[in-house]
Amino acid sequence: MGLGEDFSLKVEGLDRVLSPIRVPYLMVVAGNPGSGKTTLALTVCYRNCLEGRKCLYVSFYEDREKLFSYMAKLGLDLAKAEFGGYFKYLRLPAGSSVDTAVNTISTELSEGGYRVVVVDSINVLLETVKEDAGKRAWLLNFFYNLPTITNGLGILVAELPYGSERLEIGGIEFVADAVLLLKHRIEDGFLSRVVEVRKARGVPLNQVELPFSITESRGFEVWVPPVIEYVSEERGEVRLPCEPLRRAWGHLHRGMVVNMVYPADSDYRDAVLPILALAIENDMRILMISYKYPPQPIIESLKYRLRTLGVDEDAVEGVVSKYFKVVSLNPFGFSVSQLVIRENTIIDSENPDIVVFHGVEIPRAGVPIARHIKELYNQMNYLKQRGVLVIRIAAYTNRESYSLESRIGEALLRFYYDVSSGSSVRYKAFAYRRNSLPTIISSDELAKCVEESIEVIKKYTKKPSL
């Protein structure tokens, strides 16, 4: 553990932006009340404890039990880390003089072994010092040196009053290796959190404002838009379940985005059958995120359709429960960025191979496409990076969204009415796959695709189950 050793915060998105973090490293975490400073500082502290690095957390927080129980909800078991000797909560009485505080901290540090030290917060600690010059002297003589003393990571939490984004504490921004400013703001009427990376020594800063979330059990998570150069498209091949689609598209790959669009004045419900057959054929599990209906009606109507098409009861149950899961989200229960975070969180925990977004015309109707497209683009790249096959099912509601979303996808299937057979309406489709010529799939061919898909489903379910 020499000088210049690589350290990490164990907060994935931040590590990606800040790395390499070479100790001794001083970081300032600033923000308005309730912005998440304590949560971030304790997350870094706790996760380093899990790596066997001792962490000292110095605070004026009144109630230890309360703090521990809040953090436990966010997945930080501080009591256990403390019991294991990796974590120490050092509570200083509010109003302690800086002398006393520094003595207490120094004594604790001399016990040895600490690699991470958090002071929450530096403002409160320096409150008793009236003059700026005095504050500056304490910072220079002691607090800035904390990482050097421990040859580790020092985190100084700085509280900013509401409405202020200025750190007015003894030139702290100049001395720190990194300055993170946590902000929470209202976006579309909902709380949205971003961390602004004000400064990070030794690395180029491309993305300076990153969305983050604080959620039960998953705790503090930062979402960094993927760097497109690192997004690979050539992932595992995905076989298509019917001849007409093979003719139109050849095959697909994991990491691709497929758009399926039908007219806004009807639904092409059978679109889901080839998707299910594709899942079976390639042994990929589907997660459908529906903005339109709750899970139960979607699952019931799929089962009903399968039974109507001659798949027997047990087989229907087996195949649907193995391959098809639905989660429903009201897109207007979140701001756009928080909706994407919520979806990514669900996808992370379900870990599906295929994600079907159902009713994508609904969320995009609520926000100007120009705003929506940024989140969408980042999310699609995030899913590409994970090797997920994305299928977006939308109704055609406006030309601009259709055009933009088509550009994001690698393959497109747009259903039209085919009224050539008199009063009954069937569908035909326009099919496009990037780098090849568009083709038309006739209504007979579409019907054939559904038939072949049903065959795939039946064939699978005839196999003896393992």
SS3 343: helix
Nearer to ligand ATP, 249 or 334 (CB): 334
Characterize the bridge pairing of strands 252-253 and 237-238: antiparallel
74: partner contacted, choices Mg ion, ligand ATP, none (Cβ within 5-8 A by kind): ligand ATP
User: Does residue 36 bind ligand ATP (CB under 6 A)?
Assistant: yes
Q: Give Dmax over CA atoms of the chain in angstroms.
A: 91
Nearer to ligand ATP, 69 or 97 (CB): 69
Q: What does the block give as tokens for 113?
A: 């072994």
Specify whether the CB–CB gap between 24 and 152 falls below 8 A.
yes
User: Does residue 461 bind Mg ion (CB under 5 A)?
Assistant: no
Say which amino acid occupies 18.
Answer: L
Q: What does the block give as tokens for 69?
A: 């129980």
Least Å distance, CB 224 to ligand ATP, is 20
Least Å distance, CB 159 to ligand ATP, is 6
Length of the chain: 466
Least Å distance, CB 34 to Mg ion, is 8
Q: How far apart are CA 355 and CA 324, in angstroms?
A: 10
Chosen residue from 34, 95, 202, 294 binding ligand ATP by CB under 6 A: 34
Residues contacting ligand ATP: total by CB under 6 A: 15
Q: Find the part of the chain contacting ligand ATP (CB under 6 A) among 28-36, 260-268, 281-289, 436-444.
A: 28-36
Binding mask 199-218 for ligand ATP (x = CB under 6 A): ---------------xxx--
Least Å distance, CB 18 to ligand ATP, is 19
User: Does residue 92 bind ligand ATP (CB under 6 A)?
Assistant: no
Question: In sequence order, which residues have a C-beta less than 8 Å from that of residue 201 and are 6 or more positions away?
Answer: 177, 178
Binding mask 28-47 for Mg ion (x = CB under 5 A): ----------x---------
User: Does residue 70 bind ligand ATP (CB under 6 A)?
Assistant: yes
Residue 144 is classified by DSSP as G
Among candidate residues 160, 69, 171, the one with its CA nearest the CA of residue 123: 160
236: partner contacted, choices ligand ATP, Mg ion, none (Cβ within 5-8 A by kind): none
SS3 99: helix
Torsion of CA 47, 53, 54, 56, to 10 degrees: -50
Residue 292 is classified by DSSP as S
33: partner contacted, choices Mg ion, ligand ATP, none (Cβ within 5-8 A by kind): ligand ATP
Nearer to ligand ATP, 59 or 381 (CB): 59
Q: What does the block give as tokens for 258?
A: 């497929």
Chosen residue from 8, 35, 43, 123 binding ligand ATP by CB under 6 A: 35
Q: How far apart are CA 76 and CA 78, in angstroms?
A: 6
Question: In sequence order, which residues have a C-beta less than 8 Å from that of residue 305 and are 6 or more positions away?
Answer: 269, 270, 273
35: partner contacted, choices ligand ATP, Mg ion, none (Cβ within 5-8 A by kind): ligand ATP
Nearer to ligand ATP, 102 or 214 (CB): 214
User: Does residue 38 bind ligand ATP (CB under 6 A)?
Assistant: yes
User: Does residue 183 bind ligand ATP (CB under 6 A)?
Assistant: no
Binding mask 394-433 for Mg ion (x = CB under 5 A): ----------------------------------------
Among candidate residues 165, 226, 224, the one with its CA nearest the CA of residue 18: 224
Chosen residue from 159, 187, 353, 452 binding ligand ATP by CB under 6 A: 159
Q: How far apart are CA 38 and CA 74, in angstroms?
A: 12
Least Å distance, CB 73 to ligand ATP, is 4
Angle at 154 between CA 152 and CA 156, to 5 degrees: 175
Torsion of CA 334, 340, 345, 346, to 10 degrees: 80
154: partner contacted, choices ligand ATP, Mg ion, none (Cβ within 5-8 A by kind): none
The strand pairing partners of 423, in sequence order, are none
Residues at the contact surface with Mg ion, assessed by CB under 5 A? 38
Residues at the contact surface with ligand ATP, assessed by CB under 6 A? 31, 33-39, 70, 73-74, 159, 214-216
